[in-house]
Amino acid sequence: MTRTILLADDSVTIQKVVELTFLDEDFRVVAVGDGAEAIGRLQEVRPELVIADVHMPGADGYEVADAVAKTLPGTPTLLLVGTFEVFDTERAAAVGAAGHLKKPFDSQDLLRRAKELLAGAPAQAAARRETIGPATPVPVAPAEASATFEEMPVFEPVPALEPVVAAFPPAAPAPAPPPLAVPLPAPAGAASLSDAEVERIAARVAELIGDRVVRDVAWEVVPDLAEVLLKARIRELEASVE
């Protein structure tokens, strides 16, 4: 039996990633671009699982989770949160969200979490959705609610850069350029580094930071940049047709 997932995320990239994740599975993904639309389509779509971004226009993921708990009791909501975004664990528990997943996520992790949440949902939830409309939220004890959430990931601090800079002492000052018509004061304590030394320092800094931070930053920046470029190209094509 095909199960339906309602995805609420304003990123077209995330929508495509989630759709591809469940493409070969027995799931149907209905994607919307904001929380308000997701809430408005709950009765129409009647999903078995809701995935909602914490920060998006219209209504945020917390509001979506709250609406799911009231409209479709027993339907789990999985919240998505960006690497550098704040996640409110207490608020998520209060609105009845079933858990959260940090972006960037591995497709197999998302698939595994979805199957776990669906397996743990009450067996009578699907039948209840066929016979009842909006319902009042089911009270959840604080201890039980907090037990369903993972602790926020603890990021290792980025190593200090002082040892790296100390390993490459400043080179001898370069010859002074010809004086300008209006001399500019040199910055206090400025040191001159050759291009080779700058490259070595940059390489060492990247080595100390590691590829994890680079991947996280790229996940946040590259999809947004791709969407901006795509929308700009669409506007150019529309203008040329007119």
Spell out the domain ranges in the chain.
3-147, 162-177+189-241
Number of H helices, E strands in the chain: 11, 5
Residue-level pLDDT at 68: 96
Which of 1-10, 183-192, 194-203 holds the top average pLDDT? 1-10
Whether residue 187 has pLDDT greater than 80? no
Residue 9 corresponds to which tokens in the numbers above?
A: 């995320």
Predicted confidence band at 145 (pLDDT cuts at 50, 70, 90)?
A: very low
With a CB cutoff of 8 Å and minimum separation 6, the contacts of 63 are 35, 39, 95
Predicted confidence band at 207 (pLDDT cuts at 50, 70, 90)?
A: low
Report the alpha-carbon distance of residue 114 to residue 97 in Å, rounded.
13
Sign, CA dihedral 52-58-64-68, equals negative
Which of 48-57, 155-164, 206-215 holds the top average pLDDT? 48-57
Residue-level pLDDT at 16: 93
- What does pTM read for this prediction? 0.53
Q: What angle do CA 29, 82, 204 make, to 5 degrees?
A: 130
Report the alpha-carbon distance of residue 3 to residue 98 in Å, rounded.
18
Q: What kind of fold does domain 3-147 have according to CATH?
A: Rossmann fold (3.40.50)
Instruction: Give me the mean pLDDT over the 83-106 stretch.
Output: 92
Q: Which of 22-31, 43-52, 226-235 has the lowest mean pLDDT?
A: 226-235
Residue appearing with tokens 């089911």: 138
Portion of the chain with pLDDT greater than 90, in percent: 41
Whether residue 64 has pLDDT greater than 50? yes
Instruction: Give me the mean pLDDT over the 210-235 stretch.
Output: 61
Instruction: Give me the mean pLDDT over the 186-198 stretch.
Output: 62
Residue-level pLDDT at 2: 87
Whether residue 24 has pLDDT greater than 70? yes
Residue-level pLDDT at 61: 95
Report the alpha-carbon distance of residue 209 to residue 156 in Å, rounded.
10
Report the alpha-carbon distance of residue 203 to residue 215 in Å, rounded.
16
Contact predicate 228/205, CB 8 Å: no
| Count of CB atoms situated within 10 Å of the CB of 146 | 12
Q: Report the candidate in 94, 103, 124, 98 with the shortest Cα–Cα distance to residue 113.
A: 98
Cα–Cα distances (Å) from 115 to 36, 110, 142, 163, 224, in that order, read 26, 9, 25, 47, 29
Portion of the chain with pLDDT greater than 70, in percent: 57
Report the alpha-carbon distance of residue 90 to residue 151 in Å, rounded.
11
In Å, how far from its chain's centre is CA 199? 32
